[in-house]
Structure 1
Amino acid sequence: MYFRLRILTLCAAVLGIITLTLTGTMINTASAKSSNELQPFKVAALQFNPVLNERDKNVDQLLKVIEEAFKNGAKLVVAPEMSTTGYYYKDRDAIRPFVDTIPGTTTKRVEQLTKKYNAYVVLGLAERDPETDLFYNAAAMVGPQGYAGKYRKTHQWESEEHWAAHGDLGVPVFNTSLGKIAINICMDAAYFESARLAGLGGADILAFPTNSTAQAIAALQARAQQNGMYIISANRSNTEIDYHMIGASAIWSPMGVKLAETELLPDKSKDINEPTILYGIIDPKEYKNKNKQALANRRPELYKELMLYIAPWDYTKNTTPHDINAGIVQYEPVIGNVAANKQKVAELISASVAKAHKESNSLHIIVLPELSLTGPMDNQSIAAVKALAEAADGATTRFMANLAKANQVAVIYGLIEQEGDRLYNSAIILDKDGNFVGKYRKTHLGDSDKSWAAAGDKLAVFITPELGKIGVLIGEDAVYPEAVGVLAVNRADFIAIPSAWRGQYGSYMTIHPDMSANKYPEGSMVTWDAVAIGGQAYTLVANFVGTKAEYLGRSSLYTLDPLYGLDQPAVASGDKEEVFVVKFKTLQSQWWYNQENLVLSRRTPYYVPLIK
C-alpha cells in the first residue's frame, strides 16, 4: 500500500428513545429519510498531514486517502482543518497562492469521488471569496450530487487571525441522505455556542476538522452530550513549524461515548506523517436521544445576556485575584430528617474548620449539596415537601448563619424555599459573619423537582469583598451551557454547584488520560468540568453519597486549564462522608486562555438563535 494505514473501528449502541423537532438553519442537499428508515453506516476520520505550501500535491494525496476510505465502505469522510495547504501562514501574502474558492478546483476534484461512491466528504481548506478577496479558514461539504455547502470558522486561534477574516455564515445545518450534518472547526470547540448552534439547528452529526494540541478535542465529549449528536473529529498527527498536533482523532456518540480513537502522540518525537484512517459506525436510530430532548428544556428568556459584548472595557469586573480554601461537604442525608442532617453537617463542618485552623490554613467558604438539610425530594409527596418548606430567612438560614459565624466561614447551602404559595429549590450565600449575600433559585428543573418546584427566573452573580464574584448553579442547571455562559459574561470568579447527582445526567470523563498535562482524577465528570472550562471559572461541586437513590459523591473542584498544566482538578470519593478541602486562586489573568480572553473573543452577532 502506498501509505501507512491504521484502521480502528469500534461500534457502541446507545439507547435513544425520544423525538425532538427543532428549528434552525436547514440546507437541503439531498432527499433525507427519517432516522427510522436509515441503516447504520460507516464513517471515517482522516488523520491526514498536508505539506505546507504544497496544495496541489496535498490534494492529490488527500483524494487517494478519501478513496481508500470509500472503498472500505465509509459513507461520510471528515478530513482535518486546512487539509489542502498546511496550517501556519504569517499573513495574507503568504497564503494567497494556496487559497481556493468554495466551490472551486478542490471541491470539483472531490465530487468526482463522492458521486462515484455515493458518499460525503467534509474537508478543511483555505477559502478565497471571489467577490471580496477575503480569505477564510473554512470547510466544504461535498456529496453525491456534488458541492453541498460550506462553513467558515467562527472562533479563530491567533495564527489564522493574521490572514483570515472571521466566519460570517453562522453554523449551517445540511440536510443529507445520512441525516442532518453541521460543521465546526478546531477553536470553535472552546466556545459552547458553536456546537449549540448546530444542535439547535437539529444536527445529528457534527463534522469537526481540527489541528489540535489538546484543547479543542478535549471539549468534544461534552459537546456531544450537551447537544445529543455524533461528533467525528479529524486531527493531524505531526509537527509543522514547531506546532505539534497530537492525533487522537475520535468519534463520539450522542451520549458522549467514545466509539473510536486513534493513538495520542504527546510530542513531536512521536510524529506520524503517514495518513491514518479511523473508522466508526453511526446508527441513525440514536439521532433521537435524551440529550437531544433536553434541548427542549432550555430557558432562552434567561440567556439574553449571552448577546452582550462587555469588552474590552468592563468596570464591573473584579481585577483582584483571591486565594481561596474551600470545604465541600459530601455526606449521606437522612431524607426528610432535618434534625439528623443538621447534627451531621455541624459535626463535619466544625471538625473540618478545626483541622484547618490547626494547620494554619483557614477555610474561606463551605459549599453543601442541594436541599442540604432535607435531602433530595425524589418520590416524595407534595404534602411531605410542603412540610419541609420554609422562608428564605427561616430555620435553615438561622442554623447556617450560626455555623458561619461560629466558624468564621462563608456558606452556600440549599433549601426548599416557600414564598407565598410557590416552592423553589433554592441556594443561599452567607458571609463568614452569617450575613445574607444572595439567593439563587434553580432555573432548570430536574425530574425530581418538577412535581413540586417552580423554576427560578434569573441567573445571577453575587459580589463579595472577601471572595470576589460568585456564580451559583444547582444540579441540572449545569447541563445547560447557556447558564454557564451568562455567569461568564457577568464575570463570575468561581462557580458553586450544590448538587444531588446519581448519574441522571452527564457521565464520567473518557477523554484520553494523557491528553492533559495535569491528569484528571478518577471519577471526573464531564458536565461539571465543562462548567469550569466553558465559563473559565473555578467550579466547586457538592454532592451527596449513598441513600436508596445511590448518590454518587465525587464532589469536586474543576479548574481552568489542566490540559496545558495551569492547575489540577480534584475529585472526592464516590462513597465517603467528608468535607473535601480544595485550594485555588481566581482569575489567572496571565495565563494564555482565561475568562478575559474568552469574553474578548466571543462572536456575539452569531449567537442570536440561542436566545430565541
Structure 2
Amino acid sequence: MARKKEPFKVAAVQFNPKLNRRNTNIRALMKVVREAAEEGAKLIVTPEMATTGYHYLDRSAIAPYIDTIPGITTAQFAQIAREYDTYIVIGMAEHDLESGLYYNSAALVGPDGYIGKYRKIHQWVVENYWSCWGDTGCPVFETEIGNIAMIICQDSTYFESSRLAAVNGADILCFPTNSSGASISLLQHWAEMNGLYVLSANRSNTEEDFHMIGLSAVWSPSGKKLVEAPYSSGDDEGKDESRIVYAEVDPVHFDNEAKERMLERRMDSYKDLMLFLGPWDYVKNTVSRDIYAAAVQYEPVLGDKEANLKKIRRLVTEKAEDGVQLIVLPELSLTGPVETVKKQGILSFAETDDGYTAGEMKRLAKEVKAHIVFGFAEREERHFYNAAVLVSPEGEVIGKHRKIHLDEWDEPWATPGSGITVTPIDGLGRIGMMVGYDATFPEVAGVLAVKRADLICIPASWSGGYGTEVAVNQRMFPAPYPDGSLTTWDAVAKGAQAYTIVANFTGTEKEFLGRSAIYNLDQNYMNDRTVIASENREEVLMNRFKTMKTDWWLDQEKLILTRRTDYYKPLVTRVPPFM
C-alpha cells in the first residue's frame, strides 16, 4: 500500500455516552466525529464503549445495546470515513454471532469501509461481568497514513500491550479509554519507550459514581505531549460536553531512536515473560517489609578507583543515616564509564568478582551494616561484563547481574549478559537488578515482576541518552510527581509494581544528569512517595517505604494474576517488521 509522507491532522474525541441509549449515542457521536472530519482530521479516535456507556451488571443488561463488528455501527461510521477520506476508531461493545460471546472492543473503519478490530485483552472489574477477555492479540493494520494498532484502557497498565503493538509494526497506537487517571498515567512512558504516536480519547463525566477526568491527548514518539483536553473534576459544569483535540502527526517521525532500540532486544533473555505464576507461586514474598534505602550520587573521577572509593566511603559513612538497609551505587562505581575503544583498553580496569572493588565494597557493607549494590567491569576468563553485584552486611556476594543491553560506551569491550535473576533476602524481600540502559527495555522489568521482585536496584550512568521528564497532567494525582522524575525509571517501578532505586552520577565531564531516585508504585498512593535527587549535587538520597500494597487497586499480585501470557509470544519470538 502506498504510504502518504506528508504530515496530517489527527483528532481525539472526548465524548460522554449515556447508559442504555445506544441509538442516541451513535447519532451524537457521529455528529462529533463528522465535525472532526470536516476539520480535516485523517484519524479520529473515540472513547471506550462510546456507543453504549460502560457500567453493565451482566450480559442481559447490555444485550439490547450490543452490535456485531462489522455491523450496523461500523457501517454508519464508515459512511463518514468514505465521505471525508479519513480513518475512525470506534470504542464499542461487540457481539460475536458465531460464539454468542460479548467483548469490549474497538473497530477501525476507513475510506474503503471496515478494516479490523481489537478485543480488550486486560479487563477491569466492571466489564468482567459481561465481557470475555479479548482473543485477537494486538493486530496492526496497514493504512495509507501509517500502521495503526489499538489497545483499550486497562491494557495500558501492562507494558506488554503497547510493546506488542510496537513489535508488530505499529506507527500509531489508538487508545479508547474510560479513565479516572490510572490508565492514562503511563501513556507518555509507552509512547517514548516504543517510539509510537499515541492518541488517547477519554470521557469527562460521571457514570454510576465513577468519574472520568478527560485529558484526552496525543503523545509523540519522543514522549512529547502534543495536545491535551482540560482536566475534568467531578463538579465541572461542562463535564458532560463533548470536546475534540487536534494534533499533527508527521510520518517522518515513524522511524525513530526508540524503534531502532527495539532491534537490540535480547529475546532469549525474556522467555520467562511467557510464564504464568499464578496463585500457587510458592517463591513469592507474602509479607510487607519496612525498607529504608539509599541511592548514592557523586561526580566520578574517571578511571581513578581510589579517588572514587574515597568519595563513596565519605558519602556513605557521613551522610547515610543509621538503619539504612540497602545502598545502591552508580554503574561502574569505582571507575565511571572510562572511554575505551578496544578490549585491550579495559584490562587496566576489569577485575574478577573477588578483586579490589568487590573487596572494598564488602568491607564497607560490613562497616555500615547494610546491603550494597555496586557496579564494576568484571573479567571472567576472556570475557568482560558490565556487572552489578549485591553484597550482604556480612561481606558476602549474594547476587549479580550482567548488563544485557549494551550502549555505545560498553559495546566495544563488554559481552552482553543473559540472565535476569532475583535474590531473596530475609528482612528485605526479593531483590532484582538491572544496569542503566537495561531499563529502556521494559521486558527486563517484566521478567523481574514475573520473578516477584519486591525491589529493583539500577546502578546507572545516565546523561540523557534515553527517557524524558514525566509530563503527565499532575491534576490527576493527590500529590504531583517530584521535579526531575524520568519516564524510564518510573516505567520500571509502575510496570513491575516493585519499588525502584536508581543511583546515577552527577558532574560535567561526561554531562551526567544526576536525578538518582527511589520510585514508588503508584503516584495516587499517599503513604509512600517518590523522591528525586538533584541534577548537580553529590548526595545520599534516602527513603522509607513498605514493599507491598495489598490494600490498593493494583499491586504486583493482581498484576501477575491478570497477565495474558497466551498473547505475549511475539515479545519473545518476533523480530519487528521494520528491521
TM over 0.5, shorter chain: yes
- Kindly indicate whether the alpha-carbon contact (under 8 Å) linking 1:518 and 1:567 is maintained by their aligned counterparts in 2: no
Q: 1:591-610 residue pairs with structure 2 within 5 A?
A: 591-610=552-571
Deviation at residue 383 of structure 1 after TM alignment: 3.8
- Kindly indicate whether the alpha-carbon contact (under 8 Å) linking 1:32 and 1:179 is maintained by their aligned counterparts in 2: no
Match of 1:68 among 17, 25, 35: 35
Match of 2:461 among 497, 500, 512: 500
Alignment partner, residue 32 of structure 1? 2
Root-mean-square deviation (Å):
1.1
Q: 1:185-264 residue pairs with structure 2 within 5 A?
A: 185-264=152-231
- Aligned AA for 1:302? S
| SS in structure 2 of the partner of residue 388 of structure 1 | coil
Deviation at residue 369 of structure 1 after TM alignment: 0.3
- CA–CA distance in structure 1, aligned partners of residues 571 and 296 of structure 2: 35
| SS in structure 1 of the partner of residue 312 of structure 2 | helix
Alignment partner, residue 144 of structure 1? 111
Match of 1:542 among 503, 524, 549: 503
Alignment partner, residue 28 of structure 1? none
Match of 2:388 among 408, 420, 427: 427
Match of 2:491 among 503, 508, 530: 530
* Higher mean C-alpha deviation, range 281-290 or range 371-380: 371-380
1:270-317 CA-partner distances (Å, limit 9, x unpaired) = 552111000000000100000111110001111111111110211111
- The answer to whether structure 1 residue 483 and structure 2 residue 444 are counterparts is yes
Alignment partner, residue 467 of structure 1? 428
- CA–CA distance in structure 2, aligned partners of residues 105 and 518 of structure 1: 45
Change (3 A) 1:266 1:494: farther
- CA–CA distance in structure 1, aligned partners of residues 406 and 155 of structure 2: 29
- Kindly indicate whether the alpha-carbon contact (under 8 Å) linking 1:544 and 1:553 is maintained by their aligned counterparts in 2: yes
Match of 1:393 among 354, 372, 376: 354
Match of 2:408 among 434, 437, 447: 447
Alignment partner, residue 516 of structure 1? 477
- Kindly indicate whether the alpha-carbon contact (under 8 Å) linking 2:16 and 2:204 is maintained by their aligned counterparts in 1: yes
Deviation at residue 384 of structure 1 after TM alignment: 3.6
Match of 2:129 among 141, 152, 162: 162
1:534-593 CA-partner distances (Å, limit 9, x unpaired) = 000000000000132110000001111113545311101111101111111112222221
- Kindly indicate whether the alpha-carbon contact (under 8 Å) linking 1:80 and 1:235 is maintained by their aligned counterparts in 2: yes
Alignment partner, residue 105 of structure 1? 72
Alignment partner, residue 8 of structure 1? none
| SS in structure 2 of the partner of residue 582 of structure 1 | strand
Percent identity between the two aligned chains: 49
Change (3 A) 1:372 1:266: farther
Alignment partner, residue 373 of structure 1? 334
* Higher mean C-alpha deviation, range 443-452 or range 521-530: 443-452
Alignment partner, residue 531 of structure 2? 570
- The answer to whether structure 1 residue 49 and structure 2 residue 16 are counterparts is yes
Alignment partner, residue 418 of structure 2? 457
- Kindly indicate whether the alpha-carbon contact (under 8 Å) linking 1:32 and 1:175 is maintained by their aligned counterparts in 2: no
- CA–CA distance in structure 2, aligned partners of residues 564 and 400 of structure 1: 35
- Aligned AA for 1:150? K
- Kindly indicate whether the alpha-carbon contact (under 8 Å) linking 2:340 and 2:346 is maintained by their aligned counterparts in 1: no
| SS in structure 1 of the partner of residue 285 of structure 2 | coil
- Kindly indicate whether the alpha-carbon contact (under 8 Å) linking 1:516 and 1:565 is maintained by their aligned counterparts in 2: no
- CA–CA distance in structure 2, aligned partners of residues 579 and 159 of structure 1: 44
Gapped regions of structure 2 (runs ≥ 5):
574-579
- CA–CA distance in structure 1, aligned partners of residues 338 and 94 of structure 2: 55
| SS in structure 2 of the partner of residue 398 of structure 1 | helix
- CA–CA distance in structure 1, aligned partners of residues 347 and 181 of structure 2: 49
- Aligned AA for 2:247? G
- Aligned AA for 1:309? F
Match of 2:365 among 381, 401, 404: 404
- Aligned AA for 2:388? A
Alignment partner, residue 88 of structure 1? 55
Deviation at residue 380 of structure 1 after TM alignment: 5.7
Deviation at residue 123 of structure 1 after TM alignment: 1.1
- CA–CA distance in structure 1, aligned partners of residues 358 and 115 of structure 2: 59
Deviation at residue 268 of structure 1 after TM alignment: 4.0
- CA–CA distance in structure 2, aligned partners of residues 383 and 293 of structure 1: 29
Alignment partner, residue 10 of structure 1? none
- CA–CA distance in structure 2, aligned partners of residues 434 and 266 of structure 1: 53
* Higher mean C-alpha deviation, range 79-88 or range 555-564: 555-564
Q: 1:259-338 residue pairs with structure 2 within 5 A?
A: 259-269=226-236, 272-338=239-305
